Amino acid sequence: MTNEEIMTAPIRWRRYFKWNTDHKVIGVQYLVTTFIFFLIGGVLAMMMRAELAQPGKDILDGAQYNAVMTNHGSVMIFLWIIPVFAGFANYFIPLMIGAEDMAFPNLNAASYFTFLLGGLVMMGSFFLGGANTGWTAYVPLSIIAPDGQTIWAVSLILVGTSSLMGAINFMTTIVTMRAPGMTFWRLPLFVWGMIATSLLVLLATPVLTTGLILVILDRVAGTVFFDANAGGDPILYQNIFWFYSHPAVYIMILPGMGIISEIFPVFSRKSIFGYRMIALSSLAISVLGLTVWAHHMFTSGLNPGMRVPFMITSMIIAVPTGVKMFSWLATIWDGKISFTTPMIFALGFISLFVIGGITGIFLAAIPFNIHVHDTYFIVAHLHFVLFGGSVSAIYAGVYYWFPKITGRMYNETLGKIHFGMNFVGTLLTYLPMFLAGMLGMPRRVADYAPEFTELNLLATLGGILLAFSTIPFLYNVIVSLAKGELAGSNPWRGLTLEWQTSSPPPEHNFESSPLVTSGPYDYGSAEGAQELLELAPAAGD
């Protein structure tokens, strides 16, 4: 079937609303659902920024603010960033390794619907008072919170279970279903990123589930696992929580780094610099990432003697992250860079993520950490990592693979407007927060001292810009889906396997099982580039 035929065939919408075992359908289900949750999380964020634009109580009272803040964090982490990468991984892992589908197609569909159920249960928790303890849900506050807290904890268990099913599937698929010739050292770096991520999910998620079950038991069954007055231990909860939730940061950034590693070579027409080092640094980050959790507890009731080892591991983890940053810079160095929307989002990723990365070292330094812990400095740091980093990478991935998924090109001008608003908005929203935190503004407050007014107003203005930046994006997606230029199978002249089949790919991905004879980024080599030129005519900028 040619591209023309695929595009003129009626889009089979119904399969997206049903149990479907095609990994591409499940990928799209994940991508669209998570983006809707992103918009919900964004509305919650704007409610907070509206409340915080000026000191004093404006639109939310303390309880409402806490519920909005808790669910903003939970939605963005558990219903947007973590699962959106499951969407990309579902769609592209089989394509990138030359497989027909995932190893366990039914488990794959089950994972999506468990996620969807978890998301709806979390939304439902609002009707029972909502969780209002922050996404960290520290005991004993989370024990005495309203009923919504129990429902919220149940939703996290569902979403975590979905995440586990996904990780099992990704690992099995990558290990057992690679096309002939697709050795581990020929895997695209996004696939390497998903290996590192899946290992973390498999090792850490069950621990969070355990913690949440204990919280639910303390809440509804009258147990006292975390009740200090009855021999329980609130610090135990913090250890359990961060044992998952710090690795979760890497679960949220490693796939994004993988996407960045796909994009730089394609749009620089150059092989990735230090392929093995980038792949291994993902594994190093994932192993080290399991050993740094207590740096979230430097001011807590943790025994002070336990802080220094965690400072050391937290410092060391900067090294593999630095290796990635410098390897990316060396990849674009001497390249022939074309400034497509995915490429500028990837360049923006470097620019913003480096701010989050450097401030991470500040936070590993215990004496500085003690001052800024639980302040707006942390809020700024984590948003540079997760918004400047992960979300930039997600947008880069959406634009990069939009032609493959839909068969049509997006509009470059709108894409660049989107990037501009997103980049400026990110800086304007989060830079002032560093200053507010150091000067004395705690996080998770519904109100603040008047001295922080200017900084908060700036952040709110930046937030408004970020909110509006989704308009050109959505408009672009909807209009391009209907009338975008036909993309052809390989508009970017990429070498990875997903570009060696039609857009969108046929039901079993490839007309015949591909035979892999070279690496994913072997630009400049006779076989790589030449072969491709025959396969697909180059699309203009």
For position 447 contacting other proteins by CB under 8 A, the verdict is yes
Q: How far is the CB of 320 from other proteins (least distance, A)?
A: 8
List, in sequence order, every residue forming a beta bridge with 108; answer none if it has no partner: none
For position 312 contacting other proteins by CB under 8 A, the verdict is yes
For position 327 contacting other proteins by CB under 8 A, the verdict is yes
Contact track, other proteins, 23-62, x by CB under 8 A: ----------------------------------x---xx
CA–CA separation, 352 vs 223, rounded Å? Answer: 45
Q: Which is nearer to other proteins, 170 or 267 (CB)?
A: 267
For position 517 contacting other proteins by CB under 8 A, the verdict is no
Residues 117-136 within binding reach of other proteins (CB under 8 A): 129, 132-134, 136
For position 420 contacting other proteins by CB under 8 A, the verdict is no
Residues in binding contact with other proteins, number by CB under 8 A: 97
DSSP assignment of 22-90 equals: -HHHHHHHHHHHHHHHHHHHHHHHHHHHHHHSSSS--S--HHHHHHHHHHHHHIIIIIIIHHHHHHHHH
CA–CA separation, 541 vs 245, rounded Å? Answer: 41
Q: How far is the CB of 173 from other proteins (least distance, A)?
A: 27
Picking from 491, 405, 507, the residue whose alpha carbon sits closest to that of residue 28 is 405
For position 335 contacting other proteins by CB under 8 A, the verdict is yes
Residues 67-86 within binding reach of other proteins (CB under 8 A): none
For position 416 contacting other proteins by CB under 8 A, the verdict is no
Q: Which is nearer to other proteins, 133 or 503 (CB)?
A: 133
Q: Which is nearer to other proteins, 174 or 266 (CB)?
A: 266
List, in sequence order, every residue forming a beta bridge with 375; answer none if it has no partner: 442
Which of the stretches 32-40, 174-182, 255-263, 332-340 binds other proteins when contact is defined by CB under 8 A? 332-340
Q: Which is nearer to other proteins, 177 or 280 (CB)?
A: 280
Which of the stretches 102-110, 169-177, 203-211, 266-274 binds other proteins when contact is defined by CB under 8 A? 266-274
Which of the stretches 71-79, 139-147, 193-201, 414-422 binds other proteins when contact is defined by CB under 8 A? 139-147
Picking from 110, 96, 64, 115, the residue whose alpha carbon sits closest to that of residue 520 is 96
Q: Of 11, 180, 184, 334, which lies in the binding site for other proteins, with binding defined by CB under 8 A?
A: 334
Q: Of 6, 128, 374, 535, which lies in the binding site for other proteins, with binding defined by CB under 8 A?
A: 374
Which of the stretches 92-100, 138-146, 242-250, 423-431 binds other proteins when contact is defined by CB under 8 A? 138-146
- In the block, tokens 């002070």 appear at 304
Q: Which is nearer to other proteins, 24 or 373 (CB)?
A: 373
Residue 318: in which H helix or E strand, if any?
A: helix 318-332
Q: Which is nearer to other proteins, 132 or 406 (CB)?
A: 132
Residues 4-23 within binding reach of other proteins (CB under 8 A): none
Burial 65-103 (b: 16+ CB within 10 A, else e): bbbbbbbbbbbbbbbbbbbbbbbbbbbbbbbbbbbbbbb
Token pair in block for residue 521: 């980024």
For position 347 contacting other proteins by CB under 8 A, the verdict is yes
For position 219 contacting other proteins by CB under 8 A, the verdict is no
For position 140 contacting other proteins by CB under 8 A, the verdict is yes
Give the C-alpha distances (Å, rounded to integers) separating 375 from 66, 74, 135, 442: 16, 19, 15, 4
For position 510 contacting other proteins by CB under 8 A, the verdict is no
The DSSP 8-state label assigned to residue 441 in this structure reads P
Which of the stretches 285-293, 334-342, 382-390, 413-421 binds other proteins when contact is defined by CB under 8 A? 334-342
DSSP assignment of 499-517 equals: GGS-SSPPTTS-SS-----
For position 296 contacting other proteins by CB under 8 A, the verdict is no
Are 96 and 190 within 8 A, CB to CB? Answer: yes
Q: Of 299, 453, 470, 518, which lies in the binding site for other proteins, with binding defined by CB under 8 A?
A: 299
Q: What is the CA angle 197-202-203, rounded to 5? A: 100
Q: How far is CA 470 from the centre of its chain?
A: 17
DSSP assignment of 206-263 equals: HHHHHHHHHHHHHHHT---TT-GGGT--HHHHHHHHHHHHHHHHHHHHHHHHHHHHHH
SS3 state of residue 375: strand
Residues 234-253 within binding reach of other proteins (CB under 8 A): 234-235
Q: Which is nearer to other proteins, 57 or 508 (CB)?
A: 57
Q: Which is nearer to other proteins, 387 or 448 (CB)?
A: 448
For position 448 contacting other proteins by CB under 8 A, the verdict is yes
Q: How far is the CB of 307 from other proteins (least distance, A)?
A: 8
Q: Which is nearer to other proteins, 102 or 380 (CB)?
A: 380
Tell me, what amino acid is at 369?
N
Q: How far is the CB of 244 from other proteins (least distance, A)?
A: 19
Q: What is the CA angle 257-263-269, rounded to 5? A: 135
CA–CA separation, 409 vs 481, rounded Å? Answer: 8
Q: How far is the CB of 283 from other proteins (least distance, A)?
A: 15
Q: Of 306, 329, 471, 474, which lies in the binding site for other proteins, with binding defined by CB under 8 A?
A: 329
For position 271 contacting other proteins by CB under 8 A, the verdict is yes
CA–CA separation, 504 vs 146, rounded Å? Answer: 47
Q: What is the 3-state secondary structure (H, E, C) of 513-538?
A: CCCCCCCCCCCCCHHHHHHHHHHCCC
For position 486 contacting other proteins by CB under 8 A, the verdict is no
Contact track, other proteins, 354-373, x by CB under 8 A: xx--xx-xx-xxxxx-xx-x
